[in-house]
Amino acid sequence: MSQLVDSEENTPLLKDDSRSDDCQGDDYKSRWRSIRVMYFTMFLSSVGFTIVITSLWPYLQKIDSTANASFLGWVVAAYSLGQMLASPLFGLWSNYRPRREPLVCSICINVFANIYYSYVYLPSTENKIHMLMARAFVGFGAGNVAVVRSYVAGATSLKERTGAMANMSACQALGFILGPALQAGLSFIGEQGVNVKIIDLQFNMYTAPALLAAGFGVINILLVVLVLREHRVDDSGRHIRSINYVSEEHVDVSQETVEDIDQIAVLTSNILFFVIMFIFAVFETISTPLSMDMFAWTRKDAILYNGLIISLIGVESIFVFIAVKMISQRAGDRPVLLGGLIIILCGFVMLLPWGNQYPKIQWADLKNKTLSLETFTPTLPSNSSFEPTGCPAEQTWCQYTPAIHLAQYIASDVLIGVGYPACNAMSYTLYSKVLGPKPQGMYMGWLTASGSGARTLGPVFVSQVYTILGPRWAFSLICGIVLGAIVLLGGLYHRLIAFSVRHGRIIE
C-alpha cells in the first residue's frame, strides 16, 4: 500500500494521477484521454490571449491612426470582459448538456473571432472598433475554461484532483510562455508579408499569429468531437455516469447527492481567486513602466529584458506546479495556498522603495541633451531623434521617491514566480473540492468570471495609482490587499474543506 501511495505522489506531469481498481478498464483510459483533451483546450485558451498581445499596439497603429494608448487599454481589456460574460453562460450550459456542446460552440466562436481579427484592416473606417470587437469575441470564446475546469473537477477523484488541477495550471502557464514566443517566431514574415488576393488577405506578422490560433482551434474541435467522452466520478473515484455520444445512453451508478454546498466557502474561494488574479495582472502590467522609470531602460531594452524575465518566470512556474503536486500530498492544499500568499506578500514588500538613491529623471536628460546639441553639434540634421530615458518629469513622485534597485526587482520577480503558480493551482483545487460531486459548470463559470474581472480591473488600478502616487503607494496598497487575503484565508480556514469531508463521507 505504501508503494502505491509513493507512486501516486511522484506521478510525472501530465501522467494519470490515479491507480484505482479499474485502472486497466476502458472507462479509466477514456476518462484520462478526455482529461488530456481538456489540458490541451486550456493551453490553447492561454495561447489565444498571449499570441497577439505583443503586436496589438503596432497593428492597431497601422490600421487606425486615430487610436491612442488609452484605446489600447480597452482592446486589451476586451478579452477579459468577453471571457467574464461568457464563463457563467457556458458553465450553466455544461450543467444540463454534454460538455462537448458548449466546448465546440465556444471554440468555433474563437476560431471565427481570430479570422475576424486578421481582417480588421479591410473596413474603410472605424478599424479600431473592429479590433476591439474581434478581441472581445476571442475572449468570449475563451469562456470555455469554466467548462474545462468543471469537466476535470467532475472526472477526477479527491485524490486525483490536486495533480490534475496542477497539470491544467501548468498547461495554462505553457500557453502564456509559448504565445509570445510563437508571435516572435512569426515576426520574420515582416510587416508587409504576402498578399493572398483570392481571399483578400494580408498575411503578415500581425495576422499570422491570429490565423495560427484559428488553426489550433480547428484541431481542438476535432479532438473534442472525436476523443472527448463524458465521465463523472465521485470523490472516492467511483464512476457516477458515462455518456455514450453515439447512442446518448446515460448510465447512473449512484444517486446524486442532496447535501448543500457551503456557500461561505464558495464566496471565500472566489474572493481569494480574484485577489490572486488581480495581483498577477498588476505584476504583468507594471513591469515595463516600472523598469523603464527605475533603471532608465529604453523601450527596446524593457521589452527584451522583461520578456526574458517573464519567460524565465514561466519556466520557474512549471517546476513549482510539479513541486505543488508533491507538497500538497503531504501538507494539504490549504497550507500550500497560505504559503503561496505569504510568498507573494514578501515579493511585493521587496518592491517597496527605500534608501537615499533616486531615479534618473527625464527632464534632466532633456536639458543636458539640449545643451550638448547647442554647444557641440549646432548643425545636427532636423530628422535626428533620441529616446529620453528615466522617470518622466510629469510624475512628480520621481523627485522624492527612492529608486527601486535592480536586485529588488529580480528578487521580487522570483518570489512572485513561486507564489503565484502555487496559489493558482491550489485555488482551483480547493474550489472544486468544496463544490463536491454535483455538476460544477455554473460555479466554475463564476470563478472564471471573477478572475477575468480581476484581470480587467488590475491594470486600470495600478496604472492610475502608480502614475499619480508612485510605487510606494501602489505596492503598499497591493501588500494590504494580499494581507487581507491571508487574514480571510486564516479566518475561514476551517470551512475550506472538501464536500465529502464536510459531510462525513471521507475522513481528511
Q: Do 132 and 74 touch, CB atoms closer than 8 A?
A: yes
At 387 the pLDDT is: 67
At 408 the pLDDT is: 92
The ranges of the chain with pLDDT < 50 are 1-12, 18-24, 242-258, 364-384
> Are 249 and 283 members of one domain?
no
In which residue are the cell numbers 547647442 written? 374
Q: Left, alpha or beta for 470 (phi > 0: left; psi -120 to 50: alpha)?
A: left
At 244 the pLDDT is: 44
Quote the pTM value: 0.71
Residue 197 lies in a domain: yes
> Are 228 and 268 members of one domain?
no
At 380 the pLDDT is: 41
Q: Which of residues 255, 270, 304 is at a domain's end?
A: 255
> Are 150 and 250 members of one domain?
yes
Q: Which of residues 255, 271, 304 is at a domain's end?
A: 255
Residue 1 lies in a domain: no
> Are 180 and 314 members of one domain?
no
Give the torsion through C-alpha atoms of 435, 489, 39, 285, to 10 deg: 140
pLDDT tens-digit series, residues 234-291: 666 677 654 443 344 444 444 444 468 888 988 999 999 999 988 887 887 777 778 8
Residue 380 lies in a domain: no
Q: Do 242 and 229 touch, CB atoms closer than 8 A?
A: yes
Residue 424 lies in a domain: yes
At 505 the pLDDT is: 58
Scored b (16 or more CB within 10 A) or e, 371-396 reads: eeeeeeeeeeeeeeeeebbbbebebe
> Are 352 and 231 members of one domain?
no
User: Which CATH number goes with the domain that contains 184?
Assistant: 1.20.1250.20
User: Residue 427 belongs to what domain range?
Assistant: 259-370+387-508
- Domains in the chain, number: 2
At 223 the pLDDT is: 92
At 104 the pLDDT is: 94
> Are 71 and 17 members of one domain?
yes
> Are 235 and 320 members of one domain?
no
> Are 101 and 160 members of one domain?
yes
> Are 282 and 158 members of one domain?
no
> Are 218 and 172 members of one domain?
yes
Q: Which of residues 201, 231, 255 is at a domain's end?
A: 255
Residue 379 lies in a domain: no
Residue 381 lies in a domain: no
Residue 496 lies in a domain: yes
Q: Do 5 and 17 touch, CB atoms closer than 8 A?
A: no
Residue 18 lies in a domain: yes
Question: Grid coordinates representing 253?
Answer: 451508478
Q: Which of helix, strand or coil describes residue 206? A: coil
Q: Do 505 and 235 touch, CB atoms closer than 8 A?
A: yes
> Are 278 and 424 members of one domain?
yes
> Are 244 and 340 members of one domain?
no
At 339 the pLDDT is: 94
H runs (alpha helix) in 187-248:
207-226
At 368 the pLDDT is: 47
pLDDT tens-digit series, residues 462-491: 777 888 888 899 899 999 999 999 999 999
- Crossing angle of helices 333-350 and 406-435, in 10° steps, is 160
